[in-house]
Amino acid sequence: MTTTKYPGAAEYVPSTDDLATLAAAADACHGCDLYRDATQTVFGEGAPHASTVLIGEQPGNEEDLDGHPFVGPAGRLLDRALDDIGVDRKTLYLTNAVKHFRFEQRGKRRIHQQPRRTEIVACAPWLTRELDLIAPELVICLGAIATQSVLGPKAKVTELRGRTVELEHFRVGATVHPSSVLRATDRTHAYAEFVDDLTHLFERA
């Protein structure tokens, strides 16, 4: 089985200290093939010098159509959880490890597909530059893709959730992606665990 070799985003990342300029440049990124079918690039948004950055997997269907991160069902659940623990989303910066929506077309529906490792690696220069410019104290990874994009492919949310590890420039915490709460058999319990994770992580912010 062959693995697609993508050129990566590095050649598209401009030398800039301005997040708006960085986001505009990402609109033209052809570092992997996901741009071909996605409606648009969905870049990170929020406070430009936020002390805490939240990283998800990739934009979903609603984010792809709307152009903003975390506006779909998982985003609304995240908003509810942040409200429950008294954190104002406007004080945060929210982004994704991958900036384009990967999906499978089934009739009129677009079914979410997990991004491949090659696509995560290809997109990594955007996330790296975002974190360089924002310079957060805490990075919270939501789900396995986000966690592995920051801590490496062997990192496991099950071993890290609710606690932080120290990197050179910031601390990294991990929990599940809010979409997993929506898929849980016992959603009430899953949501309570998610909120508990966020509570512990923000206490360390």
Dist CA 71 CA 173 (whole Å): 22
- Say what the pLDDT of residue 4 is: 65
- Say what the pLDDT of residue 3 is: 55
Two tokens, residue 92: 């945060």
Dist CA 63 CA 166 (whole Å): 31
Q: How far is CA 174 from CA 22, 136, 147, in A?
A: 26, 15, 6
- Say what the pLDDT of residue 205 is: 64
- Say what the pLDDT of residue 1 is: 40
pLDDT in tens, 154-165: 999 999 999 999
Percent of all residues in the chain with a pLDDT value above 90, rounded to a whole number: 95
- The CB density around residue 46, as the number of other CB atoms within 10 Å, is 20
Identify the segments of the chain with pLDDT beneath 70.
1-4, 205
Contact 50, 136 (CB under 8 A): yes
Closest CA to 64 of 112, 128, 22, 8: 112
Contact 13, 25 (CB under 8 A): yes
User: SS3 of 130, please?
Assistant: helix
Write the CB contacts of 196 (distance below 8 Å, at least 6 apart in sequence). 162
pLDDT in tens, 41-61: 999 999 999 999 999 999 999
